[in-house]
Amino acid sequence: MTELAIYDMDRTITRTGTYTPFLLHAAFRLAPWRLLLVPVLLAAMLAYAAKAISRGRLKEVAHTLMLGRHCAAADLKRVAESFADRTLAGNIRPGALAGISADRAAGRRLVMATASYRLYVEAIAARLGFDDVIATGSIIGLDDRIVARIDGENCYGPAKLRMILAWLAKRGLLREDVGVRFYSDHVSDAPVLEWADEPFAVSPSPKLRRMAAARGWPVLDW
């Protein structure tokens, strides 16, 4: 039996979200003039809130505004590393560190499954000692430049479960042969929480807290 400990990242491991802070961090270091486009980014966020655009489309628009339509992978790797250092220094829940350490000590394979972009998540996951990352991908051109378009699905809601199942299949792991713990703060992860053997609501949003109470899921305040 392979034991997995799967963690959401934003507001589960971290105290706050990371995508917008990463974009601002990268823009400041690569093209500071793009910060003048923040009002346009805020308008896009309002459009998403009004359900005029999808969550995935919002990500692509935000990427285009703050990083450009194309960006050299080497440049983004450099800023992703510095952003990971910043995240570890001030945006990690102490309880998450304890939970990750306990799961590692118990011999569980640590997997981060997050809607955030792989292009910066991998650096954070590596610093935390994760074995694998399941995250939203980016299209990379033949010229090794990252395009402001999502590769495949946005790893959010039901898509996150589909991507976890695809990850298992790719590694030849059958569901009946794995034990799954899953940690999340948000109700959007209900499909994975329902699917897991041991679901944990971590510092949950109000809606997830109510769902956890109804389902009998443990609540962890990290």
Task: Give residue-wise pLDDT tens across range 23-77.
Answer: 999 999 999 999 999 999 999 999 988 989 898 898 889 889 998 888 888 888 9
Mean pLDDT of the chain: 93
Would residue 41 be called left, alpha or beta, if left means φ above 0 and alpha means ψ between -120 and 50 degrees? alpha
Model confidence, pTM: 0.93
Query: DSSP class of residue 92?
Result: B
Reply yes or no on whether the pLDDT at 112 is more than 90.
yes
Tokens 């270091």 sit on residue = 29
Of 137, 138, 128, nearest in space to 183 by CA: 128
Indicate the angle between helix axes 55-67 and 19-30, nearest 10 degrees.
20
Query: Does residue 206 register a pLDDT over 70?
Result: yes
**pLDDT, position 142:** 62
* pLDDT value of position 104: 97
Say if CB 62 and CB 54 are below 8 A apart. no
What is the C-alpha separation between 184 and 180, in angstroms, rounded?
13
Tens digits of residue pLDDT in 124-139? 999 999 999 999 998 7
Note the pLDDT of residue 87. 97
114 φ, ψ to 5°? -140, 150
Residues of the chain with pLDDT > 70, as a percent, come to 99
